[in-house]
Structure 1
Amino acid sequence: MKDKISILCCCGAGICTSNYLREEIGERMKQEGIKNVKVTLCRVNDVEEAIANADMMVTTVEMKANYPVPMIRALGIMLDDKAAKKALDEIVMEVRKLQR
């Protein structure tokens, strides 16, 4: 069981979209009563270095490489409420797995 889960949010520039992801994930974690989740941001070009400190990665872009942590493609968060709920449900499920 992990005490703290680190989620890496990755987008092209590491600013706008990943920041939006961080806000949405943080809000959903509060709603679910899930604590001790840290969300950090990075650019696609910085993933190789940043992934070493992550337990999972959430991204809106297609990643070409495989990484040693679970990866969730969460483009749906940007599309509509139904797609956002599906992506956030998947993130919550993965966080709960990591907390076991």
Structure 2
Amino acid sequence: MDQLRIYTLADKETAAQYFTSNWAKHRINLPRFGFEVKGVWIGHTPGVSNQVIVLVSFPDNADVDEMTERYLNSAEFAADTAEFDRNKIINVETKILRSAR
């Protein structure tokens, strides 16, 4: 299955930092926790330029909430976000997607 994650950040500059710095690290560490990062995008039009949009996949039978919690509580996540003010993440929206095969 896939999951769409939309991170809304405080402003365009913070989104750019989160996109370039943090997601470069997340791309390395998330696979260690069972996630495949299929793509990471930054909003490019007014109204979404402060958003980072991510598509990840995981096994169909996986407990995505448990996988996410395990990553969020890991030393890897702490290192990935050590220099980032997480209070600048205004909202995180997630949607589980299933192919219409």
- Quickly name the TM-score band, shorter chain normalised: 0.3 to 0.5
Q: TM-score when scaled to structure 1?
A: 0.35
Q: TM-score when scaled to structure 2?
A: 0.35
Greater helix content: 1
Greater strand content: 2
Larger Rg: 2
Higher relative contact order (CA 8 A, sep 6+): 2
